[in-house]
Chain A
Amino acid sequence: MAQEFPELLNMRAVRIGIDDSFNWVVEHWSETLEEIFLPIVHLLRAIENFLLWMPWYVVIAIIVAMGLAATRSKWVALGLGVMTFLMGFFGLWEPGMKTIALMLTATFLAIIVGIPMGIVMSRSDRVERIALPVLDIMQTMPIFVYLIPFVMLFGPGKIPALLATIVFAVPPVIRLTNLGIRHVDREVVEAFTAFGATRRQLLFGVQVPLAMPTIMAGINQTTMMALSMVVIASMIGAGGLGYQVLQGIQRLEISRGLLAGLAIVFLAVIFDRIAQAYGKRMQQHLHLGH
């Protein structure tokens, strides 16, 4: 028989140490943290309430209009409208709106946090060297692992669901902001340096605008990641379509899981089409003229 791996360190003690110190944080800080994150829950609720307050046909009309504005194709816009309609037709209007609200809030916050982080990363090679592996770890770590500390801190509910979604969804926008700024034509940056631009003028006047198509691609990916987190986040109280899938699993109802799954796919298609078309148009504007 193969030899067993020797125990070099009492791992049980180490684990207990980690758990205990985290428990200490939970005990002493969870209330403060909950208060800090309360505003984002208000934001989520506001979006959720607004979406549910609007009549369903208005929501469909808005999505069709956005699709039309972004893609300039009436067929694509119509398709997006039909998908939204089907979501209601499946009896999943309310969970659907809740999912959209969660996704929008998470994406919005991920952008607010991610773009500045990407900018910081693009300005220092050392920061980039440290940040890239961290982002790699964030993206390869099983999603469920994120849930544990958040649930411990806040208990099941909207806050841990939202935070876990943000942490999971933020890497692409950081990565692509960094990449976009680093790939801005060096000669243009040099030109504006030669004309006496400050670092701030370079950043907002040259680098960020020219990196915008890449940043948009990052935002699009972040949106998709947030959506893919929805099912898992529902396990800790996010509600919405994910909860329907979860119920399907628990009750072994294939129909419930299937319909909710389809609705999630519809949402993914809707947001992907709109965001991608918008990003492409921006690129056209930058490289092929108006």
Chain B
Amino acid sequence: MTQQETKIGIESVYKIFGPDPSSVLDRVKDGAGKQELLEETGHTIGIRDVSLDIGVGNIFVVMGLSGSGKSTLIRHINRLIEPTDGRILVDGEDVLRLDAEALRHLRRYKMSMVFQRFALLPHKTVIENVMSGLQIRDEAGGGLIPKGGPVGGIAKRLGLSSGTANAEARDRAQAQVDLVGLQGFENQYPSQLSGGMQQRVGLARALATDAEVLLMDEAFSALDPLIRNDMQDQLIQIQNELSKTIVFITHDLDEALRIGDHIAILRDGELRQVGPPEEILMAPADDYVSRFVKDVNRGRVITVGSIAAEYPAVELVAASFADALGKLEASERNTVYVCDGDGRPVGAVTTKMAQEGRDLSGPIADDSKLDPVQTVDSAAVIEDMLPLAMKSEVPVAVLDGQGALAGGVPRRTVLSALVRRTE
């Protein structure tokens, strides 16, 4: 995973709940325990010294069980909760320094949010709900305040209702409704929709503001497993189109591994590990994380690229068998890939071939004397390459995005990646 420009920086944030949080901050910084702090001062620790760099265009997943502080943490980013100490930077700007006006601007234009229980307006239709995030930008209240009924009457008397239908907002809302696949349901009320469809409305509402940052608080946790999978796929698909910076909160590790570019694991308000999914799986930082990852289907998470090893290679036209055998001896590997002019593997020379006493003299020239090679894309997960690995005597060649050789994976590596337990 390449390191990208930071979109959101969280710098040693502390959140303490209680009557006078700042009075106990020093004790917390000195490492006072949760239990002793609660007993002696009546304060609880929500977040303790969390720092994160969230890259532009990433899906950054914060994972933890209930009480881990993950929902508290995400609410710091748009200041629904104020930290006790620390800094929150968005595009390098300290969010905590913003006054009320600037904060509202940030919330209206730069960030939007999706909630666990959807948080839709029950008395508004789907399209009106999707529009509501946009309508808030109209200070006078715009379409958010009803035009008719007792409330609208009072609002009008107070000069709050602008009354003008915002055609542009409606167009944008319609585009999001189409994007999340809710065409035909525009005029339904939320209560007439299933949970999955309601959350699509929530997602469309968040997308409609065209904010660069999307905060998703357990957005799919209230949905049935099958619907949840659909929504995850849809989110990934939408993300491929829109490239937002997404902060996604979940308690479900499978979900985290499935959608996250980066994963942060929280426990009791403390950060346990941050890294790309493979790193979390392959190198859990501590017992807590490894207990977590124990039951994960690793084959569907670990990518081929992350387990590929470097292998020697020679060029088909230029090299002779002697060159290949020379490289083989010089390396610790048992295979030399033979590639064409574009770096695509066409076959392999193995130590086994030499041991079997096959005719290995002169130039290689063509692939007729070579062992065949199976290839797999480095972005594939290892479950996909399992049949190939089982079939192939020669290590499976791993290709980069252009189809050129990037490395190789012997069968043994695949198997150990699948079954590996942390020691």
- B100-126 near A? 1/0 per residue, CB < 8 Å: 000111111101110111011111000
Known: A204-B155, A287-B191. A190 touches B115 (CB 8 A): yes
What CA separation (Å) do A188 and B115 show in the bound complex? 9
Q: Among residues 145 to 194 in chain A, which have CB atoms less than 8 Å away from a CB atom of chain B?
A: 185, 187-188, 190-194
- Inter-subunit contact B122/A196 (CB<8 Å): no
What is the CB-to-nearest-CB distance from A169 to chain B, in angstroms, rounded to a whole number?
18
Known: A195-B107, A206-B121. A200 touches B189 (CB 8 A): no
Say if the beta carbon of A61 comes within 8 Å of chain B: no
B151's partner among A187, A191, A197, A212 (CB-CB below 8 A) is A212
Q: Among residues 72 to 115 in chain B, which have CB atoms less than 8 Å away from a CB atom of chain A?
A: 78, 80, 103-109, 111-113, 115
What CA separation (Å) do A261 and B286 show in the bound complex? 79
- Inter-subunit contact A196/B189 (CB<8 Å): no
What is the CB-to-nearest-CB distance from B140 to chain A, in angstroms, rounded to a whole number?
9
B122's partner among A197, A204, A205, A210 (CB-CB below 8 A) is A210
- The main secondary structure of chain A at its interface with chain B is helix
Residues of B near A288 (CB, < 8 A) are 191
A208's partner among B139, B151, B188, B209 (CB-CB below 8 A) is B151
What CA separation (Å) do A185 and B117 show in the bound complex? 10
- Inter-subunit contact B115/A191 (CB<8 Å): yes
Residues of B near A185 (CB, < 8 A) are 117, 119
- Inter-subunit contact A195/B108 (CB<8 Å): yes
Residues of A near B103 (CB, < 8 A) are 196
What CA separation (Å) do A195 and B2 show in the bound complex? 32
- Inter-subunit contact B80/A290 (CB<8 Å): no
Say if the beta carbon of A286 comes within 8 Å of chain B: yes
Say if the beta carbon of A142 comes within 8 Å of chain B: no
Residues of A near B150 (CB, < 8 A) are 212
Residues of A near B108 (CB, < 8 A) are 195-196
- Inter-subunit contact B123/A204 (CB<8 Å): no
- Inter-subunit contact A194/B112 (CB<8 Å): yes
Residues of A near B144 (CB, < 8 A) are 197, 201, 204-205
What is the CB-to-nearest-CB distance from A257 to chain B, in angstroms, rounded to a whole number?
38
Say if the beta carbon of B307 comes within 8 Å of chain A: no
Binds A, one of B130-138, B227-235, B239-247, B328-336: B130-138
Say if the beta carbon of B192 comes within 8 Å of chain A: yes
Say if the beta carbon of A72 comes within 8 Å of chain B: no
Q: Among residues 275 to 290 in chain A, which have CB atoms less than 8 Å away from a CB atom of chain B?
A: 285-290
Say if the beta carbon of A209 comes within 8 Å of chain B: yes
Known: A191-B113, A195-B209. A209 touches B136 (CB 8 A): no
Say if the beta carbon of B163 comes within 8 Å of chain A: no
- Inter-subunit contact B115/A187 (CB<8 Å): yes
B145's partner among A187, A201, A285 (CB-CB below 8 A) is A201
Say if the beta carbon of A198 comes within 8 Å of chain B: yes
CB-CB nearest in chain B for A206: B121
- Inter-subunit contact A190/B80 (CB<8 Å): yes
What CA separation (Å) do A193 and B75 show in the bound complex? 11
B136's partner among A196, A208, A285, A287 (CB-CB below 8 A) is A196
Say if the beta carbon of B146 comes within 8 Å of chain A: yes
A198's partner among B120, B123, B139, B151 (CB-CB below 8 A) is B139
Interface size class of B (residues with CB under 8 A): 35 or more
B119's partner among A187, A198, A208, A286 (CB-CB below 8 A) is A187
CB-CB nearest in chain A for B189: A289
A191's partner among B119, B123, B154, B155 (CB-CB below 8 A) is B119
Say if the beta carbon of B275 comes within 8 Å of chain A: no
- Inter-subunit contact A290/B112 (CB<8 Å): no
Say if the beta carbon of B418 comes within 8 Å of chain A: no
Residues of B near A195 (CB, < 8 A) are 107-108, 112-113, 132-133, 136, 209
Residues of B near A206 (CB, < 8 A) are 121
Say if the beta carbon of B343 comes within 8 Å of chain A: no
- Inter-subunit contact A289/B188 (CB<8 Å): yes
A188's partner among B120, B154, B192 (CB-CB below 8 A) is B120
What CA separation (Å) do A175 and B151 show in the bound complex? 18
Residues of A near B215 (CB, < 8 A) are 194
Q: Which of A210, A288, A289 has the most CB of B within 10 A?
A: A289
Say if the beta carbon of B380 comes within 8 Å of chain A: no
- B131-168 near A? 1/0 per residue, CB < 8 Å: 01100110101001110001100110000100000000
What CA separation (Å) do A5 and B44 show in the bound complex? 52
Residues of A near B80 (CB, < 8 A) are 190, 193-194
Residues of B near A191 (CB, < 8 A) are 113, 115, 119
B117's partner among A187, A194, A196 (CB-CB below 8 A) is A187
CB-CB nearest in chain A for B206: A195
Q: Which of B78, B108, B122, B133 has the most CB of A within 10 A?
A: B122
What is the CB-to-nearest-CB distance from A197 to chain B, in angstroms, rounded to a whole number?
5
Residues of B near A190 (CB, < 8 A) are 80, 115, 119
What is the CB-to-nearest-CB distance from B78 to chain A, in angstroms, rounded to a whole number?
6
Residues of B near A287 (CB, < 8 A) are 122, 191
What is the CB-to-nearest-CB distance from B262 to chain A, in angstroms, rounded to a whole number?
23
- Inter-subunit contact B107/A194 (CB<8 Å): yes
Q: What are 22 pairs between A and B in contact, CB < 8 Å?
A: A185-B117, A188-B120, A192-B136, A193-B80, A194-B78, A194-B80, A195-B113, A195-B132, A195-B136, A196-B105, A197-B144, A198-B104, A200-B160, A201-B136, A201-B145, A204-B151, A206-B121, A212-B151, A285-B123, A289-B188, A289-B189, A290-B192
Residues of B within 8 A of A (CB): 78, 80, 103-109, 111-113, 115-117, 119-123, 132-133, 136-137, 139, 141, 144-146, 150-151, 154-155, 160, 188-192, 209, 215
- Which 4 residue pairs spanning A and B have beta carbons closest together? A196-B107, A196-B108, A191-B119, A205-B144
* Given A208-B151, A287-B191, 11 further pairs, Cβ under 8 A: A187-B116, A188-B119, A188-B120, A195-B133, A196-B107, A198-B139, A201-B141, A205-B145, A210-B121, A286-B123, A289-B191
